[in-house]
Amino acid sequence: MSDHFQIAVIGSGPGGYVAALKAAQLGASVAVIEKHHLGGTCLNYGCIPSKALLSSAELLHQLQHSGDWGVSVSNVAFDWAKIQGRKDKVLAANRSGIASLFKGRKVTLFQGLAKLEAPNKIAITSEKAAAQTITADKIIIATGTTPVRIPGWPDDPAMVCTSDEAVHWQTLPKKLLIIGGGVIGCEFACMMQAFGVEVTIVELMPGLLPGLDKDLGDTLAGIFKKRGISIHLQVKVNDLQVANGIAKAILSNGSTIEADRVLISVGRKPNAKSLGLESVGIATSPKGFISVDKTLRTSVKDHYCIGDANGLCLLAHAASAHGVVAVENALGHQKDFIAPIPGAVYTFPEIGGVGLTEQEAAEKQIPISIGKFPLARLGKAMATNHTDGFVKMIRHRETGELLGAHMLGHNATECIAAASALLQQNVSMDDVAETVFAHPTISEAIKEAAEDALSAGLHLPPRKVIRVPALV
Amino acid sequence: MPKLRFPASLSGTKAVAATVKRWLKNPGDLLAKGDLLVELEVDEALIHIEAAGAGTLGTILAGAGVTIALGGDLAELSDAPAPVTTPSATQSTPSQNKAPAMSNSSAPSGPVTPVLMPQAGNSMEEGTVLKWRVKVGDQIALGQILYEVETDKATVEVEATDAGRLARIVAPEGTVVPVKQPVAFLAASDADVDAYLGGSREAVAETTATQVVEETRNSKLETRSESAVSAPASRTESGRVKASPAARKIAAERGVDLASVGAGSGPEGRILSTDVASAKAGARLAKPASSPAAGPGGVIRRPMSKMRKAIATNLQVSKQTVPHFYVTLTIHADPLFAFYRAQKPATGCTLNDVVLLAVGKTVGEFSAFRSRIDGNDIVEHPAANIGVAVSVEDGLVVPVVLNIERLTLAQLAAESKRVVESARNGKIENMGKGVFTISNMGMLGVEDFSAIINPPESGILAISAVRESVLVKDGAIKAGRVMTMTLSVDHRVVDGALAAQFMAKLKVLLESPEQLIG
């Protein structure tokens, strides 16, 4: 095996493996160093396993309400071991999928822990093989992040867990305390409630899903409460104690919550501590994220950083997009990273959002008009009994441009793609309103909300009109 | 000229300003009482403004996308059908909201609108008419493609910037026409065109000679008055200007020629709606006041206006008594441009505001630039009061922004906007209190010029266009934006070395503009 490559990628998550494939496609010799399973967090601990579990949860949820559709099902039951087993099969298939993609493009895979010894030089160590060193013209760091654990709290991984453990739970808890009501916390809350777990969420900020448009988190909280999930907002967990199989959380408002398992989902921190960044001189932020410029280059030439590791956007599709841009730049083509990144939350109903939120517009003092369309008024939603949710469209009042789209509803994660594509083309809200969406669909609520942003919604009550003569 | 204004108070909403959504009437339309004129939006409602009485709609002062306050001006009313305008007059900072008074044409013939060869790109000097897409007698709509023209760079489709009947084509296919010269005329009848061509040829020639800079409505040097980007518009292989759908729509609504917006801020120079929104439509320019009859040989004599006399006297004294010394410097303008874009949403600043702030700080530091000669003394003024040269219909005025050394960027932006608008409305703020002046001709594509000092000041800074150019750094060539500035100083007060130090400091501030708000 040669030990010099044009491109070396550290990490094979959605950032790393896509970068490797792209580099190979552009004709470079590529090495990937992976310390664990192919596919990184997304495939092994994040996107894929959680969506596999959520799909079982959603089916269960629908069956529990099947009477609404006039369908009666007796003995609705689930087999947790089988659910986990299916998920494991999905993971295995995806891992070998990446392996064969690598083989097809002649990407060389090194299984082991990478460490930067010097610029352009990587030392690889593993328990199974002898240590070796490779060199590369360009290095792409895609080492990702891991869930934050709170120092000082009990670290019994069976009782105080992060999402890394939670997707692989072999048994279900009876009472689950979820600390952190962000995307991951909400997805697990939704999932676990469907499986019959008593769920409590504790969140520091005034609403669920901070960081997304506020209406989304607020509406989801209402839906969760109706399903029996307890939510405590603007509250901090001051201390967590574990004794005799019971976890006890002491909250900042004085109350205590007991549970037999705790999920900590308060954020993720970068993984690059043991990468040897200092030996190369790569600069990081105080939190440890690697600093990059618009071309995703680090402070050291020939070294790039993509995905979670650079802290720009902790989403798998952002990592993949970074991967392509970084490889283009590494191989000499100038490309900036500019596209809008949609966000998706796989609760049921789902959430999708892209672009400016109402709160961001207010902070930046951008004059906006807002259009909103509730799914309860939408034909497809009513026909299919998925009436929870809304679409919210944000328009620049002076230029007419589409600035943001935020949606809660059935299949929102799919529907948001239309808005994301339009946003990337800098369209005006009129362009969105003039786009013909098929009827009846959930996605046509995007068009309805766009019309409302123009004060021209046909399926909504007419906007108030104040008619006055001009002054002369 | 009577104006239509937004009501001074509104019941049913707490809003104190509204954004114009769309006009339902066009300039020239006859209005009856109760006709719906314009739709505006506030958060909770739509505002429909109807005509209070009969009349004819004149120039629109607040177009689609403009936010206006209670009592603000919407449009002008005219008693007769909107008169046509001819290419003439100086407007170095064209404003969408300001329309100079329409003059009365003494000619009895109908209005005639010339269709001019546009300047699609700063280096374009002439174009060859390749193919006419319309014919004489056709009714032309705004935005309709009239003809294809070949320039040295590409073949361009020219869109109509006026509506009307195509009465005469004076540049048949194959003709080479210099930019801003007529290729055709819109008029109700051919006779109107004859009358127009007979009477106004001399007037046009005269004004060309007397004005400092010429701008025509049809060619629409739509460069943004704040950030004069003079890179030509980016085009697809077929010659179509690259612009987003939103940009095209706004451009069509506002009568903006996309080709003259220049390179946009989207990917590969694509013009975005925000680029068009900040480009101001060319001012509707009046035909010069009734042309006196031509004397022998076609020579025309006119008395000087008061403003013209004042300008003539002042500048003559300046040039004859003040020993002018010039220092020129070109800065790398990408940081300035990026800083302006970043600050604009929160402060409402223009690119010129950022430059003005930097100049204010530098004038504050260099006392000689706040000084003047009085007899045998040199008198130093404490404040950086800086005049901003503003072009108005008949010439030039210089309102002053006071105490720039004490202002934040947001405060400066508000104040400069206020004094410039005031100047255009005839009131010159803080006249005579300036210690230094800046003159910005960047929005007209000027690459370099030297200004004449405004006595009794000791200096004036001429600012030229932000343009794309070749930068050389550490021996490597790359493309970037540059901006040239020329300082004129009174060498009795400011020596050459000091002038050079002033410019060097200004360059540092403009190339690292974060220091201005640090």
Distance in Å, alpha carbon of B66 to nearest chain A alpha carbon: 6
Give dist(CA A142, CA A323) in Å, integer: 8
**Chain B residues with beta carbon closer than 8 angstroms to that of A366:** 345
Question: Mean pLDDT, to the nearest integer, of B385-414?
Answer: 89
Q: Does B197 score more than 60 pLDDT? A: yes
Q: Does B333 score more than 90 pLDDT? A: yes
pLDDT computed for residue B89 by the predictor:
36
Q: Does B413 score more than 60 pLDDT? A: yes
Residue A363 sits at the chain B interface (C-beta within 8 Å): no
Residue of higher predicted confidence among B55 and B121: B55
Pair A173, A289 in one domain:
no
Pair A10, A132 in one domain:
yes
For residue A118, give its domain range: 4-147+269-330
Confidence of residue B143 (pLDDT cuts 50, 70, 90): confident
A341: in domain: no
Residue A472 and residue B247: Cβ atoms within 8 Å? no
pLDDT computed for residue B119 by the predictor:
80
pLDDT computed for residue A136 by the predictor:
97
A155: in domain: no
Give the nearest partner residue to A399 out of B48, B50, B273, using CB atoms: B273
Residue A472 and residue B2: Cβ atoms within 8 Å? yes
Give dist(CA B297, CA A18) in Å, integer: 78
Residues 6+ apart with CB under 8 A from B52: A469, A470, A471, A472, B33
H runs (alpha helix) in B383-488: 409-424
Q: Which two tokens stand for residue A330?
A: 């590494």
Residue A427 sits at the chain B interface (C-beta within 8 Å): yes
pLDDT computed for residue B239 by the predictor:
55
**Chain B residues with beta carbon closer than 8 angstroms to that of A424:** none
pLDDT computed for residue B375 by the predictor:
83
Pair A306, A421 in one domain:
no
A21: in domain: yes
Pair A238, A135 in one domain:
no
Count other C-beta atoms under 10 Å from residue A69's C-beta.
Answer: 10
Pair A275, A410 in one domain:
no
pLDDT computed for residue B218 by the predictor:
32
Give dist(CA A250, CA B178) in Å, integer: 81
Question: Mean pLDDT, to the nearest integer, of B79-94?
Answer: 41
Q: Is the whole-model pTM more than 0.95?
A: no
- Return the residue of A nearest to B63 by Cα: A398
Count other C-beta atoms under 10 Å from residue B104's C-beta.
Answer: 12
A463: in domain: no
Pair A134, A273 in one domain:
yes
**Catalytic, out of A37, A410, A439, A459:** A439
Total of domains in chain A: 3
ipTM above 0.85, yes or no: no
Give dist(CA B260, CA B243) in Å, integer: 12
Residue of higher predicted confidence among B294 and B516: B516
Return the HEC string of chain A. CCCEEEEEEECCCHHHHHHHHHHHHCCCCEEEEECCCCCHHHHHCCHHHHHHHHHHHHHHHHHHCHHHHCCCCCCCCCCHHHHHHHHHHHHHHHHHHHHHHHHHCCCEEEECEEEEEECCEEEEECCCCCCEEEEEEEEEECCCEEECCCCCCCCCCCCEECHHHHCCCCCCCCEEEEECCCHHHHHHHHHHHHCCCEEEEECCCCCCCECECHHHHHHHHHHHHHCCCEEECCCCEEEEEEECCEEEEEECCCCEEEECEEEECCCEEECHHHHCHHHHCCCECCCCCECCCCCCECCCCCEEECHHHHCCCCCHHHHHHHHHHHHHHHCCCCCCCCCCCCEEECCCCEEEEEECCHHHHHHCCCCEEEEEEEHHHCHHHHHHCCCCCEEEEEEECCCCEEEEEEEEECCHHHHHHHHHHHHHCCCEHHHHHHCCCCCCCCCHHHHHHHHHHCCCCCCCCCCEEEEEECEC
Q: Does B216 score more than 70 pLDDT? A: no
**Chain B residues with beta carbon closer than 8 angstroms to that of A396:** 273-274
Pair A356, A251 in one domain:
no
Q: What is the CATH number of the domain that holds A372?
A: 3.30.390.30
Q: Which two tokens stand for residue B393?
A: 């219909």
Count other C-beta atoms under 10 Å from residue A253's C-beta.
Answer: 11
**A322 in active site:** no
Q: Does B45 score more than 70 pLDDT? A: yes
Pair A84, A70 in one domain:
yes
Q: Does B501 score more than 50 pLDDT? A: yes
A464: in domain: no
Q: Which two tokens stand for residue A176?
A: 């689950």
Q: Which one, of B89, B99, B95, lies nearest residue B420 by Cα? A: B95
Average pLDDT of the residues of chain B: 80
Coil, helix or strand at residue B203: helix
Give dist(CA B177, CA B119) in Å, integer: 11
Q: Which of A266, A285, A302 is the last residue of a domain?
A: A266
Beta strands A350-355 and A268-270, pairing class: unpaired
A180: in domain: yes
Question: Mean pLDDT, to the nearest integer, of B174-179?
Answer: 84
Pair A77, A175 in one domain:
no
Below-70 pLDDT ranges, chain A: 1-2
Confidence of residue B108 (pLDDT cuts 50, 70, 90): low
Residue B47 and residue A465: Cβ atoms within 8 Å? yes
Q: Which one, of B340, B386, B383, lies nearest residue B359 by Cα? A: B386
Pair A63, A123 in one domain:
yes
Asked if B150 contacts B131 with a C-beta cutoff of 8 angstroms, the reply is no
Confidence of residue B90 (pLDDT cuts 50, 70, 90): very low
Q: What is the CATH number of the domain that holds A48?
A: 3.50.50.60
Asked if A337 contacts A322 with a C-beta cutoff of 8 angstroms, the reply is yes
Amino acid present at B30: L
- Return the residue of A nearest to B278 by Cα: A399
pLDDT computed for residue A126 by the predictor:
93
**Chain A residues with beta carbon closer than 8 angstroms to that of B277:** 398-399
pLDDT, tens digit (0-9, with 9 covering 90-100), for B288-306:
344 555 667 778 888 887 7
Asked if A97 contacts A85 with a C-beta cutoff of 8 angstroms, the reply is no
Residue ranges and CATH numbers for the domains of chain B are 3-78 (2.40.50.100), 83-89+98-215 (2.40.50.100), 308-516 (3.30.559.10)
- Return the residue of A nearest to B45 by Cα: A464
Q: Which of A266, A295, A310 is the last residue of a domain?
A: A266
pLDDT, tens digit (0-9, with 9 covering 90-100), for B217-256:
333 333 333 333 346 677 655 456 778 777 877 787 677 7
Q: Which one, of A143, A69, A94, A91, lies nearest residue A298 by Cα? A: A143
Lowest-confidence region among A113-122, A123-132, B74-83, B115-124: B74-83
Q: Which of A266, A297, A322 is the last residue of a domain?
A: A266
Residue of higher predicted confidence among A22 and B198: A22
Distance in Å, alpha carbon of A352 to nearest chain B alpha carbon: 24
Ramachandran quadrant class, A52 (left: phi over 0; alpha: psi -120 to 50; beta: rest)? alpha
Interface test with A, best of B9, B21, B234, B248 (most A CBs within 10 A): B21
**Chain B residues with beta carbon closer than 8 angstroms to that of A398:** 19, 65-67, 277
- Return the residue of A nearest to B54 by Cα: A472
Percent share of chain B, pLDDT over 70: 81
Pair A141, A275 in one domain:
yes
Range among A66-80, B150-164, B211-225, B389-403 with highest mean pLDDT value:
A66-80
Pair A140, A274 in one domain:
yes
A45: in domain: yes
Percent share of chain B, pLDDT over 90: 33
